[in-house]
Chains A and B, each alone.
Chain A
Amino acid sequence: MDVLKKVPVREQDPQRRAANFEEVCLGYNEEEAIAEANRCLECKKPLCVSGCPVSIDIPGFLSKVKKGEFAEAFGVLGEASALPAICGRVCPQETQCEGKCIRGIKGEAVAIGKLERFVADWARAQGIKPEPPKETNGRKVAVIGSGPAGLTCAGDLAKMGYDVTIFEALHEAGGVLVYGIPEFRLPKEDVVKKEIENVIALGVTLEKNVVVGKSVTIDELMDEEGFEAVFIASGAGLPKFMGIPGEQSNGVFSANEYLTRSNLMKAFSEDSTTPIMRAHKVVVVGGGNVAMDAARTALRLGAQTNIVYRRSEAELPARVEEVHHAKEEGIVFHLLTNPTEILADENGWVKGVRCVRMELGEPDASGRRRPIEIPDSEFIIDADMVIMALGTSPNPLIANTTGGLDVNRHGCIVANEENGQTSREGVFAGGDAVTGAATVILAMGAGKAAAKGIDEYLSEKKK
């Protein structure tokens, strides 16, 4: 075995998986996990931990895995994260823990993410559940949204003894974990549902079908329902469109709509009562993880699928692993290409996308080289469906109905990074509602910080 290389992880064959919704990565078995954990050098100053937004004691849990003490390893994970089976699957480890791993200097970093996933999956298979706290303090905290930020904050506060209620707008808990990330990356029944059940098992109450700002306001929660603090983790909001001609044609969808139909409403399954359009040739516009998810979903629903992105491969915001998987499955990338018009037939249905070729100019404000149109380079890609994966802008529902809550010029809620405190006393916020669309783990980090902030605030208030 080459100690400089990761123990390879088994995956479903690309051709086979391109036609099903089962998980792509199959994960490690016990022997593979122990072998991979043994690559950890247990550094005195573990840089990996500083790269983790929720500061998991990585050498600590890996030292348990080395000895085959998986239950103990799960205990170490549980101290820092309520959602390890999810993080092990969707965190961008390559830029976080694994990005800082000393092993990575000469060879490949330790596969921390795959090991986290292994331990969490093992514990779930054994039926190990976190214990609710022995003592509760009876003080009520409301958490708005049951995505990664909300679940993390709720879990941490429940462990401290608070009486936490999560308010979820949809009919199912999980936020982006259920409506956004597809089954083949993050299984819903076996992984997401189980980890949410673990948070609920800590004594958290979940009330679904409540749109805070509409069904109830933050003022009502605090003044009439007795909540002493509120954490806003309502996530990202309205999908962006390009504003090009033809965008309202039939067959143009936001990635949010397409993925919500497939993931939350299970429209990928023939049994679903929610329809989804089945196309022959799809163009997905965008280069982030959401674009990859949408493209790989369309591919699995039987379409020849193309990604159109205006910069080059180096600038793709998606995780390298996702791009690699997408290519393996047969998705065609049209890089340095930008749509200028969506063409429709006489009945208003999409029939193609007019594109223009781009080249990279000087770096812009984001530090990335600005794409510039190449004159007279227009061409048409045939398509009967177009999916726009261009990001989202914040949902104004809560900000508009909560007096004294400051938002920035992008409409994001302003919150202190250290403790989640907003401009309104007793109201905290974190996750995409504050940062704009980001990652699951950053949202969890914010949820964790806010739980600490809320505990400090309420402890102080009592005095």
Chain B
Amino acid sequence: MYRIVKAKELTNNIYLMVIEAKRVAKNCLPGQFVIVRAEEESERIPLTICDYDRENGTVTIVFQVVGAGSLLLSQKKEGEAFHDFVGPLGRPSDFCETPLEELKQKKILFVAGGVGTAPVYPQVKWLKERGIPSDVIVGAKTKSLLIMEDEMRAVAQNLYITTDDGSYGRTGMVTKCIEDLVAEGKKYDICVAIGPMIMMKFCCLTTKKLGIPTVVSMNPVMVDGTGMCGGCRLTVGGEVKFACVDGPEFDGHLVDFDQAMKRQTIYKTEEGRRYLAAKEGATHHGGCGHCGGEQ
């Protein structure tokens, strides 16, 4: 069992939890992920690592409730435990293996969308700890959905917040913010974009136009996370890659996002039904489009 040292709701439906997992905490690096199961019979949920404390042997995860599995995770309280917590899985971010002198020559821009702010944080922090400054754009639909603003401000050289509705910071999507920054005279050698697939796709279209190489972190459907099932396969530069062992980070300008987004829907209806059943229980009387309760 893996004890939950801290649990809090960051904003509507987005949760942060600090988990005791000594082996993961000892060996993880930015960019990697874990797989969590709330209970003995729960499904396996992959989540990108958001922070880690090697001394205390803890790992921080941040997740949004999107289905029955993540709903169950969110219902766990401080002091309780997860049944399973395995990792670190996947490859660390490329810069973890790049010589520091080389990294110091680069101007790095991070672009975080929504809950994608969480996996961006350890990367910016890792760089700052090594004396490498980076700029960060955080995008959210509206002010109330923004997470980890203070944490990010503490590690970013410049933090640019943009909301779709203009309720906080700049107005517009992250793509507009990227274009604006470049127009304002900023130069970037590399961009790391993490967020919903649709956001990463459009970020890549923008950075391609601007000639900025871009890394994205993919989060496809996955079962084991160790290279066994092949469910997480993606087409990258015309080649089939497994997100769990070859990624999760890839050259965003080579990823076939349209295919990845289609594959993302494989279990959508099935999951939706389970989510509604889990959330509404016996009170569920329609609306899912499947049970027929609305008729």
Binding site for B on A (CB under 8 A): 169-171, 179, 208-211, 214-217, 237-239, 241, 243, 247-248, 250-251, 253-254, 256-257, 260-261, 264-266, 271-275, 277, 347-348, 395-397
B223 beta carbon closer than 8 Å to chain A: yes
Whether B84 and A208, one on each chain, are in contact in the complex, defined by CB atoms closer than 8 angstroms, is yes
Q: Which chain B residues lie closer than 8 Å to A261 at the CB level?
A: 223
Q: List 26 A-B contacts (CB under 8 A).
A: A170-B226, A171-B37, A171-B84, A179-B224, A209-B86, A214-B89, A237-B227, A238-B230, A239-B229, A241-B230, A248-B235, A250-B265, A250-B266, A251-B266, A253-B230, A253-B231, A256-B230, A261-B223, A266-B41, A273-B68, A274-B43, A274-B44, A275-B274, A277-B267, A347-B262, A395-B226
Cross-chain contact A257 with B259 (CB below 8 angstroms): no
Expressed in whole angstroms, the Cα–Cα distance for A348 and B83 within the complex equals 36
Chain A residues with CB under 8 Å of B245's CB are: 238, 395-397
| A211 engages B233 (CB within 8 Å) | no
Q: Please provide the 10 A-B residue pairs with the shortest distance between their CB atoms, ordered closest to farther.
A: A257-B229, A254-B230, A209-B86, A348-B262, A275-B270, A239-B230, A171-B84, A215-B23, A274-B43, A275-B267
Contact with A along B75-115 (1 / 0, CB 8 A): 00000000111111100000000000000000000000000
Is B226's CB under 8 angstroms from A211's CB? yes
Query: Closest CB of chain B to A210's CB: distance in Å?
Result: 6
Judge whether A248 and B233 touch: CB under 8 Å.
Answer: yes
- The one of A171, A247, A256, A277 that contacts B83, using a Cβ cutoff of 8 Å: A171
| B295 contacts chain A at the CB level, 8 A cutoff | no
Q: Is B228 close to A, CB under 8 A?
A: yes
B223 lies within 8 A of A265 (CB): yes
- B86's nearest neighbour on chain A, judged by CB, is A209
Determine how close the nearest CB of chain B comes to the CB of A397; give it in whole angstroms. 7
Interface size class of B (residues with CB under 8 A): 35 or more
Instruction: Name the residue on A nearest B223 (C-beta).
Output: A260
- Knowing A253-B231, A277-B267 are in contact, say whether A265-B86 is a contact too (CB < 8 A): no
**A396 — which chain B residues lie within 8 A by C-beta?**
245
CB < 8 Å: which of A171, A243, A395 contacts B228? A395
Nearest chain-B residue to A180 (Cβ)?
A: B228
- Interface flag for B121 (CB, 8 Å): no
- The residue in chain A whose Cβ has the minimal distance to the Cβ of B271 is A275
B143 at the interface (CB under 8 A from A): no
Instruction: Note all chain B residues with C-beta closer than 8 A to A247.
Output: 240
Residues of B1-60 whose CB lies within 8 A of A: 23-24, 26-27, 37, 41-44
B residues in contact with A395, CB < 8 Å: 226-228, 245
Q: Which parts of B243-292 form the interface with A (CB within 8 Å)?
A: 245, 259, 262-263, 265-267, 270-271, 274
Chain B's interface: helix, strand, loop or mixed, by majority?
Answer: mixed
Specify which chain A residues have a CB less than 8 angstroms from the CB of B83 in the assembled complex: 171
- B63 on interface, CB distance cutoff 8 Å: no
- The answer to whether the Cβ of B69 comes within 8 Å of any Cβ in the partner chain is yes
CB contacts (< 8 Å) of A265 on chain B: these are 43-44, 223
Q: Which residue of A lies closest to B222 (CB)?
A: A257
Q: How far is the CA of A442 from the CA of B245 in the complex (A)?
A: 27
CB atoms of A273 and B69 under 8 A apart: yes
Instruction: Tell me the nearest residue of chain B to A238, going by C-beta.
Output: B227
Dominant secondary structure of chain A at its interface with chain B: loop
A274 to B26, CA, bound (A): 30
- Nearest-neighbour CB distance to chain B for A281, whole angstroms, equals 17
Indicate if B188 sits at the interface (CB-CB under 8 A).
no
**Are A238's CB and B228's CB within 8 A?**
yes
Most buried by B among A214, A248, A257: A214
Within 8 Å CB of A209, what residues of B?
84-86
Which of A170, A241, A397 is close to B240, meaning CB atoms less than 8 Å apart? A241
Do A273 and B42 touch across chains, with their CB atoms under 8 A apart? yes
A272 to B267, CA, bound (A): 14
Q: A105–B214 Cα gap in the complex (Å)?
A: 68
Give A168 Cβ to nearest chain B Cβ, in Å.
10
Pair B86/A210 contact, Cβ less than 8 Å? yes
Q: B270 to A216, Cβ gap below 8 A?
A: no
Of the candidates B44, B86, B271, which one forms a contact with A215 in the assembled complex, judged by CB atoms under 8 Å apart?
Answer: B86
Minimum distance in angstroms from A275 CB to a CB of chain B: 4
Residues of B close to A273: CB separation below 8 A: 41-43, 68-69, 72, 274
Q: Does the CB pair A211–B87 fall under 8 Å?
A: yes
Question: Which residues on the A side are within 8 Å of B89 (C-beta)?
Answer: 211, 214
Chain A residues in 8 Å Cβ range of B223:
257, 260-261, 264-265, 274
Known pairs A169-B224, A169-B226; list 18 more (Cβ under 8 Å).
A211-B87, A211-B89, A211-B226, A214-B88, A215-B86, A250-B265, A250-B266, A254-B229, A256-B229, A260-B229, A261-B223, A265-B43, A266-B41, A271-B41, A273-B274, A274-B43, A397-B226, A397-B245
Complex Cα gap A208–B224 (Å): 13
Residues in chain B near residue A214, CB distance under 8 A: 27, 87-89
Chain A residues near B242 (CB-CB < 8 A): 238
| B23 neighbours in A (Cβ, 8 Å) | 210, 215-216
Contacts of A257 in B (CB 8 A): 223, 229-231
Q: For chain B, residues 131 to 187, give those with C-beta under 8 angstroms from any C-beta of chain A.
A: none
Task: Say how far B289's CB is from chain A's closest CB, in angstroms.
Answer: 16
Query: In the complex, what residue of chain B is closest to A236 when comparing beta carbons?
Result: B228
- Contact, CB under 8 Å: A250 / B263: yes
Q: What residues of chain B lie closer than 8 Å to A250, measured between beta carbons?
A: 262-263, 265-266
In this complex, what residue of A is CB-closest to B265?
Answer: A250
- Chain B residues, CB < 8 A from A264: 223
Known: A257-B223, A257-B229, A395-B245. Contact between A248 and B240, CB under 8 A?
Answer: yes
Q: How far is the CA of A264 from the CA of B231 in the complex (A)?
A: 15
> Residue B266 contacts which of A217, A239, A277 (CB distance < 8 angstroms)?
A277
Q: Specify the chain B residue showing the minimal Cβ separation from A237.
A: B227
Q: How far is the CB of A335 from chain B (nearest CB, A)?
A: 25
